[in-house]
Amino acid sequence: MKNTAAPSPSGSPQALFGRHVWTLYAFLRPYKGALLGGLALNILARACDLLPLALAGRVIDVAASGNAAAATYVHYGLAILASFLCLSVFQSGSDYILAAMAQKTRHDIRLSLYGHLQSLDPAFFEDRQTGDIMSVIVADVDTLESFLTDALTSIIRLVVTFCGIYGYLFFLEWRLALLLFAPLPLAIFAVRRFVTRVQPRYRETRRAVGAIAGLLENNIAGMGVIQAYTAEDRLHAAVAARSAGYRDEAIAAEGERARFIPAIYAVAGISFGAVFAGGGYLVAAGHGPTVGDYTTFVLFAARLVLPLFVFGMLINQIQRAEAAAGRIAELFAVKPRVADRPGAVALDHRPREIAFADVRFSYPSRGPVINGVSLTLRQGEVTGVVGPTGAGKSTLVKLLLRYYEPTGGAIVIDGEPLDAFTLKSWRGQLGYVSQEAFLFHGTVAENILLGRPEADREAVRRAAAVAGADDFIMKLPSGYDTVIGERGMKLSGGERQRVSLARAILRDPAVLILDEATSAVDTRTEAIIQQNLHAFRQGRLTLAVAHRLSTVRQCAEILVVVDGYVVERGDHEALIHAGGVYAGMWAVQSGLEPSHDAL
């Protein structure tokens, strides 16, 4: 759905509908049969709709002649009745087919967008507000559905009506048809001017919707903090300012529409007035159609003018849809920075060794964060990484998860570079527990089963027991079936961490990554968890990142990272005896020295 088309000249179809609305065809293609079927029924419906108007002229001429039998009028009446019955069947069938197509297309667009979002790097979501993304997936996609359901159906009806009526009128009386058509270039000029002026307004309106959604989502999630810091007035003012921006852009767009509609009415009035005046003169002078044909012409002309009024409203809907389609296209255009390289293969075995070989990394627009780090993870061993805040510990985890790629050096799996394997197969080997344990709205069991949904309840309880979570879970109102709310907010921070750890353990990962995984639990519970994890290390590689040194005390090797450099390495006893950074941190945390002497 990525748009590569150049801007279209004014007056072209793409200038009217916008460059991005046309990209909807990629989603409509699977339903081409339904689209054609709906169009065919709509054409039949329009024919049935216009037939009574054509018959009206015939009836008037027959009545004026005075020679028709009563049966003739009955036949005309039955024909009109039949046209109305057929109109109801064809129109309802067309509306249903096109509406069903619109709903299916909305479903496809939304799923495609969500699937695309799942392929993007975490960095994208760090840079963009969740509410703004949600406004694209929900509000903008719904706008397109409304366009397909209402505007597209109206456009088809308008085009079919216009072509049918004008063709018949040209056949009936070509001079009056040309008179009726003469003012239409003025309408085209008005449309081009309106589109040029209103498109930027609607684009800004859709962006304002995203900005408001992002701010509201952020503020609602942090409502407790807002209230604790009595920041209600300031945040209310911020929401008011964002909302005012949306209000002003929407009013400006409506102002453009208000200036456009009178022009359309003026063109319609000129056309209809010319037909009345010119047609009346020709009939009276005996140079024109019969009274019946003139009546048919006037009735058809009235039906031709009506679409001009509808067209004014359709242009407004089209421009809204273009703004929404533009935001959707922008989201589709975002490409993941980390993706499978050509020739990547699935990792079909449990890794035996992972090596960081002189790994370096810099975030965009920031200086180096990792500076030549080398370390090796081996099966059955736990490797610890410690250091002060901002030292680069969590960045090492992100590199191992392939959220980012190293800017120097390499991560090697059993002698092969990490990017030789597909992302999905690599991450399928991982169990990851972060300091900010994220839980989904649902039950405790559903959260633990995330990475292994086929596991039975006994396996879930065993994993929870290893994570030190089974006891507190069983005390919840419904045990493992307790709903824990959005982000697991009904649980404490330590409880959320233990559920997150149970989720990783249940997966039986080949590589277990613990990033401050027990930072929120008390020391007694942490000791139990560490004892359980020490037994769980067998047959897997474990990386434990921690600030609390008791977490890594049993590790086979501990790396001390400062400013992205490994400044010390060894086991706990060796590092204590070395009297360096680790020893200083241990002295502070064990209460032997004040914190200002730690580093």
* Token representation of residue 264: 């359309």
In the DSSP assignment, the letter for residue 269 is: H
Radius of gyration of the chain (CA): 35
Looking at residue 312, its pLDDT comes to 62
463 and 442 in contact (C-beta within 8 Å)?
no
Handedness of CA 241, 242, 247, 253 (dihedral sign): positive
Looking at residue 370, its pLDDT comes to 93
> How far is the C-alpha of 493 from the C-alpha of 483, rounded, in Å?
16
Looking at residue 307, its pLDDT comes to 65
What is the three-class DSSP state of 538? Answer: coil
Q: What is the side-by-side order of every strand in the sheet holding 511-515? A: 430-433, 511-515, 541-546, 382-386, 557-562, 565-570
Distance of CA 505 to the CA centre of its chain: 32
506, burial (CB in 10 Å: exposed 0-12, middle 13-18, buried 19+):
buried
Give me the DSSP letters along 220-238.
HHTHHHHHHTT-HHHHHHH
- Residues 388, 393, 397: CA angle, nearest 5 degrees: 160
Report H helices in 286-347.
Answer: 291-333
Q: Under 8 Å CB-to-CB from 371, ≥6 apart: which residues?
A: 360, 563, 564, 565
The residue type of 107 is: H
Nearest to 505 by CA among 473, 479, 467, 470: 467
DSSP E strands in 379-423: the ranges are 382-386, 408-413, 416-417
Q: What count of other Cβ atoms lies within 10 Å of the Cβ of residue 287?
A: 9
**% helix, strand, coil for the chain, step of 5:** 65, 10, 25
Beta bridge partners of 359: 373
> How far is the C-alpha of 62 from the C-alpha of 246, rounded, in Å?
60
* Token representation of residue 159: 């085009």
338 and 427 in contact (C-beta within 8 Å)?
no
CA-CA distances (angstroms) from residue 474 to 51, 438, 482, 497? 74, 21, 10, 16
545 and 393 in contact (C-beta within 8 Å)?
yes
Helix or strand holding residue 51 (H, E): helix 32-65
Report H helices in 334-432.
Answer: 393-400, 423-427
Looking at residue 524, its pLDDT comes to 80
190 and 260 in contact (C-beta within 8 Å)?
yes
Looking at residue 195, its pLDDT comes to 66
Beta bridge partners of 432: 513
Handedness of CA 585, 589, 590, 593 (dihedral sign): positive
> How far is the C-alpha of 422 from the C-alpha of 521, rounded, in Å?
35
Nearest to 561 by CA among 549, 553, 569: 569
* Token representation of residue 220: 């609602």
370 and 564 in contact (C-beta within 8 Å)?
yes
Report H helices in 436-492.
Answer: 444-448, 457-466, 470-474
Domains and their CATH numbers in the chain: 21-333 (1.20.1560.10), 353-597 (3.40.50.300)
78, burial (CB in 10 Å: exposed 0-12, middle 13-18, buried 19+):
exposed
Looking at residue 448, its pLDDT comes to 92
Parallel, antiparallel, or unpaired: how do β-strands 353-362 and 408-413 relate?
Answer: antiparallel
Nearest to 510 by CA among 399, 373, 353, 402: 353
In the DSSP assignment, the letter for residue 359 is: E
Parallel, antiparallel, or unpaired: how do β-strands 565-570 and 511-515 relate?
Answer: unpaired
Helix or strand holding residue 496 (H, E): helix 493-506
541 and 511 in contact (C-beta within 8 Å)?
yes
> How far is the C-alpha of 283 from the C-alpha of 492, rounded, in Å?
88
pLDDT tens, N- to C-terminus, the chain (599 residues): 433 333 343 344 444 445 777 777 788 889 989 988 988 898 898 888 888 877 877 787 777 777 777 788 888 889 989 999 999 999 999 989 988 998 899 899 999 999 998 888 888 887 787 778 888 888 888 888 888 877 777 777 777 777 777 777 777 777 777 777 777 777 777 767 766 776 677 777 777 777 777 778 777 777 777 776 778 888 888 888 888 888 888 888 778 777 777 777 777 777 777 777 777 777 777 776 777 777 777 777 777 666 666 666 677 777 778 888 888 888 898 888 888 989 999 998 999 999 999 999 998 777 889 999 999 999 989 999 998 888 888 899 999 999 999 999 999 999 999 999 999 999 999 999 888 888 888 899 999 998 889 999 999 999 999 888 899 999 999 999 999 877 777 888 888 888 989 999 999 999 999 888 777 777 788 788 888 887 788 889 999 998 888 888 888 899 999 999 999 999 999 999 998 999 998 888 876 654 444 43
Give me the DSSP letters along 78-104.
HHHHHHHHHHHHHHHHHHHHHHHHHHH
Q: What count of other Cβ atoms lies within 10 Å of the Cβ of residue 592?
A: 11
Parallel, antiparallel, or unpaired: how do β-strands 408-413 and 430-433 relate?
Answer: unpaired
402 and 371 in contact (C-beta within 8 Å)?
no
In the DSSP assignment, the letter for residue 183 is: T
* Token representation of residue 426: 């690599």
Looking at residue 296, its pLDDT comes to 76
> How far is the C-alpha of 580 from the C-alpha of 567, rounded, in Å?
9
Handedness of CA 232, 493, 504, 347 (dihedral sign): positive
> How far is the C-alpha of 467 from the C-alpha of 494, rounded, in Å?
11
135 and 210 in contact (C-beta within 8 Å)?
yes
